[in-house]
């Protein structure tokens, strides 16, 4: 990020990870207009900016790995053992966060 889309008055109304027809302009992550859109101000320091975006990128990478696995492009066992362990740990943590969703059975009643 951020490639931005502006309205007719020049205000940033959307931000995207990739350039598109509607969002052709790249702005600095610390741009005040972007901060106004997101409600968050990106740190000025490059290192801090990278750390700020790490959490979102980690989720993107997890989703990418899941997609590659689902399409049989790679096998889970192709990944190094430490990567396998990290992914399993994160899946377990996410599963425990979503555990309340499993309290309903198929007909909508409580188990």
- Determine if the pTM surpasses 0.85: no
| Mean pLDDT lowest among 29-33, 61-65, 92-96 | 29-33
Contact of 69 with 75, CB cutoff 8 Å? yes
Residues 32 and 53 both lie in one domain: no
CA distance from start to end of the chain: 43
Question: Could you tell me if 69 and 52 lie in one domain?
Answer: yes
Count the domains in the chain: 2
Based on the fold, state whether residues 8 and 51 are members of the same structural domain. no
- Report, as an integer, the average pLDDT of 62-91: 94
Predicted confidence (pLDDT) per residue in 8-58, tens digit: 998 888 888 788 888 888 888 777 887 787 776 665 666 676 777 787 788
H or E segment to which residue 70 belongs: helix 46-70
Q: Is residue 111 part of a domain?
A: no
Distance of CA 98 to the CA centre of its chain: 17
Tokens at 3, concatenated = 């490639």
């Amino acid at each position: 990020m951020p490639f931005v889309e502006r309205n007719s008055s020049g205000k940033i109304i959307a931000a995207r990870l990739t350039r598109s027809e509607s969002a052709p302009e790249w702005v600095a992550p610390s741009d005040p207009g972007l901060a106004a859109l997101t409600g968050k101000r990106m740190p000025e320091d490059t290192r801090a900016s990278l750390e700020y975006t790490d959490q979102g990128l980690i989720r993107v990478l997890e989703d990418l790995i899941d997609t590659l696995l689902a399409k049989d492009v790679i096998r889970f066992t192709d990944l190094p053992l430490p990567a396998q362990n990290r992914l399993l740990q994160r899946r377990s943590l996410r599963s425990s966060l979503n555990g309340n969703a499993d309290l309903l059975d198929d007909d909508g009643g409580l188990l």
